[in-house]
Amino acid sequence: MGSQITVVGMGADGWDGLPPPARDAVLGAQVLLGGRRHLALLPETGAVREPWPSPLRDGLAALLERHRDRRIVAVASGDPLVSGIGSTLIAHLGAAAVTVLPAVSSVALARARMGWSAESVDVVTLVGRDVHAVRRAFGRGRRLIVLSSDGGTPAQVADLLRRDGFGASVLTVLSDLGAPAEARRSATADEWSGDAPALNVVCVECRGAEGYSTAPGLPDDAFEHDGQISKRPIRLAAVCALAPRPGQLLWDVGAGAGSVGIEWARTDPRCRAVAIERDEGRAERIVRNAARLGVPSVAVVRGPAPAALDGLDTPDAVFVGGGGSIPGVLEKCWEELRPGGRLVAHAVTLETEATLVQWWKTHGGELTRLTVEQAAPLGGFSGWQALRPVVQWQVTKGEK
């Protein structure tokens, strides 16, 4: 695709609020693309007008190919790089093919209306996303600006706040920001009811429960499980060894309750995880755990490894929490792991431990025996109770 595309951001005041460079771009376009609402805000220019296809990603390539080598301008709301079409077009065409002329974003307008500084808020987008993603950000004293998917989003956010112990949180819904019809409505999550106008931003002042940290080491009872779960101290060691980085992908093989993959994904909204689990009941628990802990994007692949690993995206890190001694599992994980990627495997049985020792001798890395003791009642006194020892092998591919 050799065409250059200009993306023009508009405020709710439409054409009247566009600065001269943005107006010139629209007037000079041969093709105007955008949502029907955005296109209706523009004057007649003689350009071909086409609304975005639905679903967008499936039809975008054909739409752009149809107008190859023509001057294309896409119109969007506010800053097109804030959960907008600008990001989609750059991902599809590359930054060199897209010029963005932004307007003031809805986030900036919301902060101005609330009197909140940029460094004091967290922005969560629910545009085209599962509403449970907002739960990762819940925490006492936090300020959230939530970009809504539609008019029902505020009620959904309020319901999740109530369910997670944040019913006293104050929701301020700002609708039609920058337009003559701009409105504001505030209520606690406990009091909130009904829908809002379709174009809205939800500002949340979290009050009530403490919430969970996004650092690894959630308590075991944060997860629904049947006993097949990496205990908190062992899980913490695993996630730290995996060293999550924004945008990277983890395979959690033999995921059990999904705790390692979920902890990985919670460290940053851009982290991705795939949980591979052969037991159907456990796979369903992973889905529920991921939603409740604010990372519904954790994908669950049902089936036994190594067969279930075929066709998955190349991982940046792999955790093998179960099945390390099954023929082909470590071989497949090592083969698919990208160069420089990290593999961490745990063993609780002598058979898997022997397998890890052989891999350590061949590929290097660190082999560690983790033993943890916790205080527990002992008759009328207290004593130390040992958890089952775990052997951990961690290695970076290509380091030896």
The pLDDT value recorded for residue 62 is 93
Q: Point out the residues of the chain with pLDDT beneath 70.
A: 1-3, 400
The pLDDT value recorded for residue 3 is 58
The pLDDT value recorded for residue 12 is 85
The domain defined by 107-205 carries CATH number 3.30.950.10: yes
Class for domain 220-396, per CATH?
Answer: alpha beta
Per residue in 324-341, is it b (16+ CB within 10 Å) or e — as a string? Answer: bbbeebbebbbebbeeeb
Q: What CATH number belongs to 5-104?
A: 3.40.1010.10
Q: CATH 3.40.1010.10 occupies which residues in the chain?
A: 5-104
The pLDDT value recorded for residue 1 is 43
Strand order in the sheet with 122-125: 122-125, 143-147, 200-205, 170-175, 183-188
pLDDT, tens digit, 9 for 90 and up, residues 126-137? 998 999 999 999
pTM for this prediction: 0.90
The pLDDT value recorded for residue 400 is 65
Q: CATH 3.40.50.150 occupies which residues in the chain?
A: 220-396
How far CA 354 is from CA of 346, 365, 393, 399, in Å, comes to: 11, 15, 11, 22
Question: What is the SS3 string spanning the chain?
Answer: CCCCEEEEEECCCHHHHCCHHHHHHHHCCCEEEECHHHHHCCCCCCCEEEECCCCHHHHHHHHHHHCCCCCEEEEEECCCCCCCHHHHHHHHHCHHHEEEECCCCHHHHHHHHHCCCHHHCEEEECCCCCHHHHHHHCECCCEEEEECCCCCHHHHHHHHHHHCCCCCCEEEEEECCCCCCCEEEEEECCCCCCCCCCCEEEEEECCCCCECCCCCCCCHHHCCCCCCCCCHHHHHHHHHHHCCCCCCEEEEECCCCCHHHHHHHHCCCCCEEEEEECCHHHHHHHHHHHHHCCCCCCEEEECCCCHHHCCCCCCCEEEECCCCCCCCHHHHHHHHCCCCCEEEEEECCHHHHHHHHHHHHHHCCEEEEECCEEEEEECCEEEEEECCCEEEEEEECCCC
Q: CATH 3.30.950.10 occupies which residues in the chain?
A: 107-205
- The pairing of strands 381-386 and 373-378 is antiparallel
